């Protein structure tokens, strides 16, 4: 029997609670599928943009404008993907953040300290690495925010492709880290990349958000109410000069993510369940399709490592992210006096930190904002994001593969359900009913093994007495084996005839 788990000391990356594990598994499943589509879209964009016969068509489609000019929304397809479709992505990010704050790991300040500190360090160190690299080489330090973001979908797609059985605690840490990362990326976009503000449009967007909030609190239902209102809020936010994705985050944060009596799932969880596939399966891949199509050549790739801005992006993603997240995690554990889970080592944290260096979607978006007006440098920075993400993915693959055998054992233990009640056995170790069920299961198995042994013995020895001495073949086989052992001298006669009997002195076993 497994002893009850001690709760005396808080563990870093300890086993998740069952409800949290279920939620994380569902969320990661969708993100993994979306990540694979994201990879496909990125590869398709690179092929489309770099085949000479197709390059002009890629440029034509990306630059094609549509939308009502009177409303200030006559935008290119690429612009619609970046400002429109990514608002859906950030809407889901807002719901995730709200849920983490009210019902997830971020609800408990002690538990929240680890991912928050790790995320902050994982953004500050890459920004510092970029700035130092750019200033040392005489480049533009304005792209400091490009390597600060982590792309959870891309990271999970890498995990799916390499087939690693990463434990649920590390996957949950990666997911929470990405949520906090997205929050600060949103703040960076809002604060540092808003140049002029149209206060009339901004006031209209705020009024729309207030109406959105009131309708939610009144319990009004119906997509036909909220979708048109959301579009109006998004359009007003776009025209205000603040990046339109902020509208998506704001609406996501307004949803209620706690359950009430009679509810199995909160409204936020239900809406996220509907919208997440749209975000992961359509919005983000389409953004990648029209943003990742940069010209790639041997000379262009070589310039990534020679130009200070692009080198800063690569080093920020590969070196800065890894050192920042690993160092932040270690510091948080050190100063909160939490110990690492017995199942894991700090090498595992380092591997996950390197995986977080994949900064695709939001990094591409920030790259466009940071170097707006310089198309050549924007494309070079995008190429640097792709290169840095590829290097980080390769490094993480090697590190995770080295530990995959251990991950597989942990994963199998987490998934084992021998009593077939739908709940993994590790969550029932302290339940007496579980151990009684397992005792019954093992008793049935033992009885079945005994019957099988008897059947095999009868089949080998024969069911009838072939020589008419009244003993079955099985009896004679056992008796004969004993007589042969006595004749060989390997078993004393008395011990063979009287098992467990007394010796000549009467006080020793025969």
SS (H, E, C) 267-281: HHHHHHHHHHHHHHH
Q: What is the pLDDT of residue 205?
A: 95
Question: What region does 431 belong to: left with phi over 0, alpha with psi -120 to 50, or beta?
Answer: beta
Q: Which of these, 240, 246, 117, lies nearest to 176 by C-alpha position?
A: 117
Q: Please give the C-alpha separations between residue 256 and each of 116, 330, 340, in angstroms, as whole numbers.
A: 22, 34, 33
3-state percent helix, strand, coil for the chain, nearest multiple of 5? 70, 0, 25
Torsion of the alpha carbons at 237, 243, 248 and 253, rounded to the nearest 10: -100
Dihedral sign from CA coordinates of 210, 211, 214, 219: negative
Pairing of strands 65-66, 75-76: antiparallel
SS3 assignment, position 489? coil
Q: Please give the C-alpha separations between residue 100 and each of 93, 115, 116, 267, in angstroms, as whole numbers.
A: 10, 11, 12, 15
Buried-exposed string 247-285: b where 16+ CB fall within 10 A, e elsewhere:
bbbbbbbbbbbeeeeeeeebbbbebbeebbebbbbebbb
State phi, psi for 260 to the nearest 5 degrees.
-110, 175
List 11's β-bridge partners, or say none: 339
Cβ-Cβ contacts under 8 Å for 349 (sequence gap 6 or more): 13, 326, 329, 330, 340
SS3 assignment, position 12? strand
User: Rounded to an integer, what distance in angstroms lies between the CA atom of residue 431 and that of residue 5?
Assistant: 12
Torsion of the alpha carbons at 133, 136, 139 and 145, rounded to the nearest 10: 30
Kindly report the pTM of this predicted structure. 0.76
Cβ-Cβ contacts under 8 Å for 357 (sequence gap 6 or more): 150, 317, 318, 321, 322, 388, 389, 391, 392, 395, 396
DSSP 67: S
Q: What is the pLDDT of residue 36?
A: 85
Pair 24, 166: CB distance under 8 Å: no
Q: How far is CA 266 from the centre of its chain?
A: 22
Cβ-Cβ contacts under 8 Å for 254 (sequence gap 6 or more): 98, 209, 212, 213, 216
The structure tokens listed for 106 are 């971020």
Pair 22, 172: CB distance under 8 Å: no
User: Rounded to an integer, what distance in angstroms lies between the CA atom of residue 325 and that of residue 330?
Assistant: 9
Strand boundaries in 178-283, DSSP class E: none
* Ordered alpha helix ranges (H), 462-497: 473-488, 493-497
Residue that is written with structure tokens 């270690």 in the block: 330
DSSP 80: I
Give me Rg for the CA atoms of the chain: 32
Tell me the per-residue pLDDT of 472-495, one tens digit each, with 9 for 90 and over. Answer: 554 555 455 444 444 444 444 444
Tally of CA atoms within 13 A in the half-sphere of 227 that contains its CB: 5
Flag residues of the chain having pLDDT under 70: 1-10, 14-20, 23-24, 27-28, 105, 163-164, 297-300, 463-510
List 65's β-bridge partners, or say none: 76
Q: What is the pLDDT of residue 473?
A: 52
């Amino acid at each position: 029997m497994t002893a009850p788990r001690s709760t005396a000391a808080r563990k870093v990356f300890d086993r998740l609670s069952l409800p949290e594990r279920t939620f994380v598994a569902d969320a990661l499943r969708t993100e993994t599928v979306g990540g694979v589509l994201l990879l496909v879209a990125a590869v398709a964009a690179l092929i489309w943009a770099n085949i000479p016969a197709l390059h002009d068509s890629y440029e034509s489609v990306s630059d094609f404008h549509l939308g009502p000019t009177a409303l200030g929304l006559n935008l290119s397809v690429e612009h619609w993907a970046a400002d429109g479709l990514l608002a859906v992505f950030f809407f889901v990010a807002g719901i995730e953040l709200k849920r983490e704050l009210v019902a997830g790991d971020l609800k408990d300040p002690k538990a929240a300290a680890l991912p928050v500190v790790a995320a902050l360090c994982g953004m500050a160190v890459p920004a510092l690495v970029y700035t130092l690299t750019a200033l040392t080489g005489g480049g533009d330090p304005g792209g400091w925010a490009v390597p600060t973001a982590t792309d959870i979908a891309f990271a999970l797609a890498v995990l799916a492709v390499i087939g690693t059985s990463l434990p649920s605690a590390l996957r949950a840490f990666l997911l929470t880290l990405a949520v906090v990362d997205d929050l600060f990326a949103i703040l960076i976009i809002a604060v540092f990349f808003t140049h002029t503000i149209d206060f009339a449009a901004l006031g209209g967007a705020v009024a729309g958000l207030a109406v959105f909030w009131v309708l939610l609190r009144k319990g009004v239902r119906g997509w036909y109410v909220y979708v048109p209102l959301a579009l109006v809020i998004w359009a007003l936010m776009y025209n205000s000069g603040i990046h339109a994705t902020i509208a998506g985050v704001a609406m996501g944060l307004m949803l209620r993510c706690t359950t009430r009596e009679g509810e199995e799932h909160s409204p936020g969880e239900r809406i996220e369940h509907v919208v997440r596939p749209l975000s992961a399966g359509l919005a983000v891949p389409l953004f990648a399709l029209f943003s990742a199509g940069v010209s790639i050549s041997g000379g262009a790739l070589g310039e990534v490592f020679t130009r200070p801005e692009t080198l800063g992006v690569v080093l920020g993603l590969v070196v800065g992210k890894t050192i920042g997240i690993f160092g932040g995690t270690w510091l948080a554990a050190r100063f909160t006096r939490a110990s690492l889970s017995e199942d894991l080592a700090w090498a595992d944290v380092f591997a996950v930190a390197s995986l977080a260096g994949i900064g695709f979607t939001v990094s591409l978006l920030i790259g466009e904002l940071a170097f707006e007006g310089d198309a050549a440098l924007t494309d070079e920075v995008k190429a640097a994001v792709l290169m840095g993400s590829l290097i980080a993915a390769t490094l993480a693959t090697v590190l995770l593969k080295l530990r995959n055998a251990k991950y597989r054992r942990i994963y199998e233990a987490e998934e084992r359900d021998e009593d077939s009640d739908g709940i993994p056995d590790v969550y029932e170790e302290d339940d007496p009913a579980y151990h009684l069920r397992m005792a019954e299961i093992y008793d049935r198995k033992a009885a079945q093994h005994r019957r099988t042994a008897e059947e095999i013995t009868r089949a080998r020895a024969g069911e009838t007495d072939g020589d008419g001495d009244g003993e079955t073949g099985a009896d004679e086989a056992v008796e004969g084996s004993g007589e042969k052992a006595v004749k060989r001298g390997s078993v004393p006669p008395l011990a063979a005839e009287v098992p467990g009997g007394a010796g000549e002195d009467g006080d020793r076993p025969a």
